[in-house]
Amino acid sequence: MNSISVPLESSRQSLQVLQAISEGIESLTPEVKKAAAYMLEHPNDISVSSIREIALSADVKPNTLVRLAQSLGFDGYEDFREPFREEIRRGVNQFPDRAQWLQSLSQSGKLGEHYRSMVSAAIGNIEDTFAGIDSKDLQSAAKAIVASRHTYTLGVGVNHSNAKNFSYLASTGMQQVHAIPRSGSTASDDLAWANEKDVLIAMTCKPYRTEVVDAVAIAREQGVKIIGISDSLASPIVAGSEFGFVVAVDTPQFFPSSVSTIALLETLLSFVVGMGKPKVVERVRTFHNRRHQLGLYVEDSAEDSDS
């Protein structure tokens, strides 16, 4: 069987192992290649799943995984698995300099591998996020929004777009949802008259934005119910909030991922609409019918001819 060369350092990093598999996968026998492809597509499974579980998922025999490990220069599967487990134990990021790594991918023509990593990360983030959320908590948060006098959505940077998107979609059926900070204002000023009748949906991930953290602190003092969305239970906008949701934001690129945040907000909004009064759905229907009437959509000519 052909072998793949992995740098024989005292502490081989999991990324080195995955890169070696990717570079040498075409030289492997069909069954070992199948196992290698599974490893590349599910690297997070390596550290937490047994050899039998991996073999079952990859549709190969456990011995095939041993052969793959040996082709990489490891004594056996457990030896191969150790770098992945060690990095989890030490909390090591597999991609310490992501911007530089992206450049190296581009220079070496490996954007196909990066594409695969991005897809895997996006799907994994959504799975990890919703696996840690109880639908009853989402329902309670949605209930608070439905009952609120005003619901404010707060995010800065990329999360400003996420906050505005939630408010925009909600506005098609509700009138009490507002994105802040408004143009020419500050989040703290926009919350000046907010109280216990109101809700603030705030979002920020590491490094936490000062204006968001400060606005949440002010809103709490005024009795506003807080829905905090962040990447850790220890986040200052999650800890101590009535409703706290943790989103997974890991990605092989330089910027944190917004995929799970957007998915969570869309799900929360669906709960809000589902729990709202019948007039909310009617307003959404009326809103879109009005858009058709005003010619804001490009109509399908085939549909026009049939109607």
Q: Is the pLDDT of residue 109 over 70?
A: no
Q: Quick one: fold of 1-94?
A: Arc Repressor Mutant, subunit A (1.10.10)
Q: Is the pLDDT of residue 93 over 60?
A: no
SS (H, E, C) the chain: CCCCCCCCCCCCCHHHHHHHHHHHHHHCCHHHHHHHHHHHHCHHHHHHCCHHHHHHHHCCCHHHHHHHHHHCCCCCHHHHHHHHHHHHHHCCCCCCCHHHHHHHHHHCCCHHHHHHHHHHHHHHHHHHHHHCCCHHHHHHHHHHHHHCCCEEEECCCHHHHHHHHHHHHHHCCCCCEEEECCCCCCHHHHCCCCCCCCEEEEECCCCCCHHHHHHHHHHHHCCCEEEEEECCCCCCCCCCCCEEEECCCCCCCCCCCCHHHHHHHHHHHHHHHHHCCHHHHHHHHHHHHHHHHCCCCCCCHHHHHHC
Q: What is the pLDDT of residue 272?
A: 93
Highest mean pLDDT pick, 72-81, 106-115, 285-294: 72-81
CB distance 40 to 84 below 8 Å: no
Q: What is the pLDDT of residue 173?
A: 83
Listed range (80-94, 223-237, 262-276) with the worst mean pLDDT: 80-94
Q: Is the pLDDT of residue 102 over 70?
A: no
pLDDT tens, position by position, 140-194: 999 999 999 999 999 999 999 999 999 999 988 888 999 999 989 999 999 999 9
pLDDT tens, position by position, 261-303: 999 999 999 999 888 777 777 877 787 788 788 888 887 654 4
Q: Which residues pair with 246 in a beta bridge?
A: 230
Q: Is the pLDDT of residue 138 over 90?
A: yes
Amino acid occupying residue 40:
L
pLDDT tens, position by position, 24-67: 888 899 999 999 888 888 887 887 788 998 999 999 999 999 99
Q: Quick one: fold of 129-293?
A: Rossmann fold (3.40.50)
Alpha-carbon torsion (34, 40, 41, 45), positive or negative: positive
- Residue 108: band (very low, low, confident or very high) from pLDDT cuts 50, 70, 90: low
Domain map (residue ranges) of the chain: 1-94, 129-293
